[in-house]
Amino acid sequence: MKKVILKCKLKNRDDFEDKLSAIDLDFSAIYWQHDRIYVPRDYRKNSNFPRLIMRTEMKAVDKPAKYSLILRRHIEDSGVDIVEETTIKDYENTVNIILQLGFKPLAEVSRRRQDLNMGDGVFIYLDKVDNLPGYYAKIESVLDPKDSIAEAKSDLEKTFQTLGENNFINQPYAEI
């Protein structure tokens, strides 16, 4: 699936959430995510190399964790992310396969997250990332084949600016 993703460091988390609540949009309950990020052995920043992400997600303490393997490739010259996610049952065996395929660990990122489905394939995430100051918001828009990438990116920027935010960040949390 192709996505355009825009991330921003929030000036004030409560103000951001209040602006969305004022138009009857409310975030989900807080849940926890932990990503272990793997890259090919010859990985270079700002390249189109794929990343494999092993994600652990806990939405409630009385429910089992969900494990996912995510393939993410950021296509630099277009600004599009290609993302495929699959649920896995055996975390350890999947990590062993990743390592045997020649990937190496790059980073680990833990966050407390809330999400908001805006409809039409648009999602807003509110993140508190461990070891990073402040709060971050991320908007993802799933692209249809006929969608203009530039227009989709411009719409996401306008959404943030309408909410009073413009401190855009282009790098992943692991690189901030």
Can you list the domains of the chain with their CATH numbers? 2-175 (2.40.320.10)
pLDDT digits (tens, 9 = 90+) for 10-25: 999 999 999 999 999 9
CB contact at 8 A, 103 and 94:
no
pLDDT one-digit tens code per residue, 95-117? 999 999 999 999 999 999 999 99
Q: What are phi and psi of 21, to 5 degrees?
A: -65, -35
Over residues 79-96, the pLDDT tens digits come to 789 999 999 999 999 999
Whether the CB-CB separation of 100 and 38 falls below 8 Å is answered with no
Which pTM value belongs to this model? 0.91
Structure tokens at 85: 């996610």
Please give the DSSP secondary-structure letter assigned to residue 143: P
